[in-house]
Amino acid sequence: MARTQHDAATETLHEIDGFFDRIANWAAANQPVAWGLLAGILGVTLIVSVVGVVRDSSRKAASEAVGEAQTDYLEAMGANSFVASFAEPANPETARATREEYAARLAAAADAHAGTAPAAAGRIEEAGILGELGDEEGAIAALRTAVEEAPAGSALQGVALVDLAVRLEETSPADASRAYERAGRIDDFPGAPAALAHAARTALDAGETARALALFDEIESAADDGGNGITAPPFIAARLREARAAAAAAPPAAAAAPTPPE
């Protein structure tokens, strides 16, 4: 039976609902950081962009394999494909075994269709499950692969980069900042302006004050020029303005003493 455009869109929504749910869960635990970033990431524009990426017939098999794994995972955890969250199974070992099984299944589906957008979406979902299992290294590795497999300059790549940046923040804010910045420079990614703001924030966390202020100047210039009309979230802007004021008030570096003549 020929698949309709509605069917293709439904497949895509199944692919992306898992990592949207996971990002939303992260946001609930990290509200001060998350609110500005999620406003763009969860936009309808992202869904439309990803639908366009996976509609090509050559990607249908990958879409079906990844979408089926994600739907089955929700059902195995006691939910269904129309809910965004679910209660943990009563037996922790059952929950862990289920996560391990479906992380492996998503990895296998992504491996079988490597290089496609659905495979990248599957890797993002795999990373979320690995994170729930406490395997941060595995989650980061899956996300790095997702960044490479997602179509360059796509909204899907932007999501993968943001997810990677979030996981890198604790151990390497400098690397997190660069991942956020890459996402912030993707024109088709609705979360780009907020990602650029978080790139500045994490650059400051990494001690890269000059780079943080340069990014902040860029954000403010774009807003002043009418750009996208989105400025840095207030809690980020406040930190960066304080850093700018401190840098301006700092005495200039002392000139090196002249070398005495021999």
Counted domains in the chain: 1
- How far apart are the two ends of the chain, measured CA to CA in Å? 90
Tokens at residue 65, please? 């394999």
Residue 255 belongs to some domain of the structure: no
**What local confidence, expressed as pLDDT, does residue 18 receive?**
41
Tokens at residue 109, please? 């589906």
**What local confidence, expressed as pLDDT, does residue 114 receive?**
85
Domain that holds residue 166: 5-85+92-246
Residue 37 belongs to some domain of the structure: yes
**What local confidence, expressed as pLDDT, does residue 6 receive?**
39
Residue 252 belongs to some domain of the structure: no
CATH of the domain at 50: 1.25.40
**What local confidence, expressed as pLDDT, does residue 15 receive?**
39
**Range 208-215 contact pairs with CB under 8 angstroms and sequence separation of 24 or more:** 208/174, 208/177, 209/243, 209/247, 210/247, 211/177, 212/177, 212/240, 212/243, 213/240, 213/243, 213/244, 213/247, 215/181
- Collapsing DSSP to helix, strand or coil, 233 comes out as coil
Residue 201 belongs to some domain of the structure: yes
**What local confidence, expressed as pLDDT, does residue 119 receive?**
87
Residue 261 belongs to some domain of the structure: no
- Collapsing DSSP to helix, strand or coil, 169 comes out as coil
Q: Spell out, as residue ranges, where the chain has pLDDT lower than 50.
A: 1-55, 57-58, 81-82, 84, 255
Reported as a single tens digit per residue, the pLDDT across 106-140 is 888 888 888 888 889 889 989 988 998 999 999 99
**What local confidence, expressed as pLDDT, does residue 191 receive?**
86
User: Which DSSP string corresponds to 175-205?
Assistant: HHHHHHHHHHT-TT-TTHHHHHHHHHHHHHH
Residue 262 belongs to some domain of the structure: no
Residue 254 belongs to some domain of the structure: no
Residue 162 belongs to some domain of the structure: yes
Q: What are phi and psi of 78, to 5 degrees?
A: 95, 15
